[in-house]
Amino acid sequence: MTSQTNPKAQRSFLTTMLSDETARTNLLLGGICVLVLVAMTAMRPNMFLSSYNFESMAFFMPELGILSIAMMIAMLTGGIDLSIVGVANLAGITAGTLFGMMAGENGSSVLGLGPVALGVCAALIVGLLAGLLNGFLISVLKITPILATLGTGQVFIGMCLVLTGGPAIVGFPAGWNAIGNGKIAGLPVPLLLFVAICIGLSLLLARTSFGLRLKMIGTNPKAAVYAGVRRGQMIVWSYMLTGGLAAMAGILLSARTNAAKSDYGSSYLLQAVLIAVLGGTNPAGGRGNVIGVALALISLTLLSSGFQMMRMSNHLIDFVWGGFLILVIALNSWRRHRRS
């Protein structure tokens, strides 16, 4: 994407090692998951292994997971989407504002299932439109993804502020909150949604021509165009998919917390980049898979929850996340050098 990466070296290596490399990364991530699990259990057996701990993880993990997958999709074409958190909040706030208008004086909590479905649609449409805007800026006006999404992210957060005036929107309908807090057959709804999204996107990327074409654009844009891929159109679709997923994460976030605000989840941006890169996504494009991202998400969530149990300050956890990101970069680079 930028001059510092060496796409040639990566590509020749990629084409030969693609399938094998992915499997190896996933195996490694699975190993890390088990390792973290064992280490944390050894240190705090009673707290860490409690069903309450796992249940709470199952409720808050999906938001970040969906954002990470959204980031991975943007990275597949060699781009990045820095506006996902803005989109997520805008989606939640739009739905909240809509509920406020529909309910009027009575308060939104009395609204039934019809309005809730309408709210979900509105939130998803906001996400798709936001993605359409990003895709338009990137593929038609040829703006670098970093700058385009940096700018639109500001606009989306700004629109959140304009809609709310600053404070959080609180009090969503009960049906809406069930999306974030409910259970079906003993399993948390967010987790079920996340698994469904994982399976759906996994199939989309691995088993359809759409997924193949996306990866082709990231691997070698010129070759993809010569092979008949409509690059501009594909990029717009991929950013719309990213936007839609970000909106989905926004729905879960506002449904779980029963509130929506312009600056919720701002730390998710870095974490989504980290999880995507850790999960074997190549930020220069061409490589990425849902299973890797899901495994990276699980291992980092376990790690985070373990640190919190050891009463480590939240700020030091930020430090660990950043350090982890740099470590992963270093490791990837080292492996690349050794092979090539």
Interface residues with another protein (CB under 8 A)? 1-6, 80, 137, 141-144, 146-148, 150-159, 161-162, 165-166, 270, 273-274, 277, 283-284, 313-323, 325-326, 329-330, 332-334
Enumerate the H helices of the chain as residue ranges: 7-43, 45-48, 51-76, 84-103, 113-135, 145-164, 174-181, 189-207, 209-219, 221-226, 231-257, 268-278, 290-309, 314-339
Nearer to another protein, 181 or 308 (CB): 308
The 3-class secondary structure across 59-105, one letter per residue, is HHHHHHHHHHHHHHHHHHCCCCCCCHHHHHHHHHHHHHHHHHHHHHH
Residue 282 Cβ vs another protein, minimum distance, rounded to whole Å: 10
Task: Find all residues with CB under 8 Å of 2, minimum gap 6, and list them.
Answer: none
Nearer to another protein, 36 or 71 (CB): 71
Nearer to another protein, 158 or 200 (CB): 158
Residue 313 Cβ vs another protein, minimum distance, rounded to whole Å: 5
Nearer to another protein, 69 or 189 (CB): 69
Residue 138 Cβ vs another protein, minimum distance, rounded to whole Å: 10
Widest Cα–Cα separation across the chain: 67
* Sign of CA pseudo-dihedral 327, 328, 331, 333: negative
Residue 32 Cβ vs another protein, minimum distance, rounded to whole Å: 18
User: Which contiguous run of DSSP H or E holds residue 109?
Assistant: none
- Could you give the 3-state DSSP secondary structure of residue 182? coil
Residue 299 Cβ vs another protein, minimum distance, rounded to whole Å: 17
Residue 129 Cβ vs another protein, minimum distance, rounded to whole Å: 15
d(CA 200, CA 64): 17
Closest CA to 257 of 51, 68, 92, 117: 92
Nearer to another protein, 10 or 238 (CB): 10
Nearer to another protein, 15 or 314 (CB): 314
